[in-house]
Structures are given as C-alpha cells and as structure tokens.
Amino acid sequence: MASAVLIGSTGLVGSHILSTLLADTSASAYSAVHTISRRPPKSTGAKLHAVVDGDTTQWAAKLSAITPVPSTVFSALGTTRAQAGGIANQWKIDHDLNVELARAAKAAGVRRFVFVSSGGTRGLLSSAVPYSKMKIGVEDTVKELGFDTAIILRPGLILGEREVPHQGGPLLNGMARGLGRIFGLGLRDKFAQEAEVIARAAVQAARIAEEGKAPAKYWVLEQSDIVRLGRTEWKS
C-alpha cells in the first residue's frame, strides 16, 4: 500500500494534516505516514513513523532514505520572520528547505508532491514582497520538477490556535470569525479558512491524485477549491 511523508507536521496546518492522515481508515488510506521535524509531533498512531532531527540540513537525506519510496510528500513547512530571526533566516526555511526537499523527493521517485503555499502571492504588487517571492519560488520549482501530480494549495488567512501566535493573529482570527457569524461562512470563506479545512483539502486532493483523477498535472487549489474539498464528506 502507498505511504506518505509529511514535512511541517508540528505547525498549524501540518498538525491537522497529520491527524487527518492518521485518522483515515478508508480503503485508500496510507499504510504508513512518515514525518520529519525538529520536535515530536503531537499526534500519535500505529502507522506514524516520526523522525526528529534538529538539523534541517539532514532532512533531505532522511527523506531520501525512506523505504519503500513514498507515493506522496506533503509540505506544510513554514515559519515567520519573527520566529526565524529575520527575513534571511525565514528564506532558508520557507524557500530553500522546501526546494531542497522537493528536489530530494523527485530524485527518490516520489510521484506526487503537495505544497501548502499562500493566497495572493501572484498579484501585481504582492509578487515583489519577500514572503510572496519565497512561495512563488517553491511553487515554480515544484512545477518544473515534473512530478506525476503537483498540488499547490493557496489558502487565505489561516484560522486556528497557534502555539506561538503571529503578531496580530488572534485579533485577525477574531475578526474573521465574527464576520462569519454575522454575515455567514460564504463571506469568510472568500478570505479566511480554518486550518483543519485546509488540511482536509490537502489530503483529499492527494487522494484524488492517487486515484488518477486530478484535473491537471499541476493542480492549483485556490481558496474556493480548498473550501469545497475541505468540507466535503469523504466516501470510504
């Protein structure tokens, strides 16, 4: 049976991807889920194989060493400028490490790569912003590598409780949820999605690709696509 690798399993979206993968008991569920992270993931399960290594320069080699070759790699890896200690250090994680892992995955024979990017990165002005340039660089690399299927998710404001709140994050979360209560989820969905919904969309998209039903070799999920897939009841 197919197995998967998840990078970024301790982050907000990544932790939800992991719990979703581990909870899946359907006939098409992954038989094993490998994670590579700097600290142990919170979720546990019989099919979880967690590698903990604080030296991120070793992660590509760790990924390449996984046998049998996983069919899918998920990356929800990312940090903030504040947590990284500056834009240069953030670039090393958000861009350089993601690119290195995508290349290692392709070289190892992984067929599908799922990357959680960010919405609005391709706008006329946003494309010149360092954060957007990081995400664009990873997206372009994943596309150019030629996976059987490359899946890019571009969520808007990510709603959820982070271990280390982003600056202004709790306020934005409260405002988005408040608008949703007043005007309905339809309005909120246009600019903000729950981390769990994004995670479920990532796993569902990978499942569709595993079944050979992806609409394109390079499949981009914008916010409306994320909501549609992330809220759909799965069929066993």
210 within 8 A of 140, measured Cβ to Cβ: no
pLDDT at 82: 84
Q: What are the beta bridge partners of residue 37?
A: 52
pTM for the structure as a whole: 0.89
pLDDT at 132: 92
pLDDT at 235: 38
In order of start, what are the domains of the chain with their CATH numbers?
3-232 (3.40.50.720)
Residue closest to 188 by CA, chosen among 227, 235, 138: 227
DSSP 235: P
Q: Residue-wise pLDDT tens for the chain (236 aa)?
A: 799 999 999 999 999 999 999 999 988 899 999 999 999 999 999 999 999 999 999 999 999 999 999 999 999 999 888 888 899 999 999 999 999 999 999 999 999 999 999 998 888 777 788 889 999 999 999 999 999 999 999 998 888 676 665 655 555 555 556 555 655 566 567 667 999 999 999 999 999 999 999 999 999 999 999 999 998 643 33
pLDDT at 197: 95
- The residues near 231 (Cβ < 8 Å, ≥ 6 apart) are 197, 200
**For the residues of 74-124, what is the DSSP string, one character each?**
EE-----HHHHTSHHHHHIIIIIIHHHHHHHHHHHT--EEEEE--TTTTST
- How far is it, in rounded angstroms, from Cα 229 to Cα 151? 13
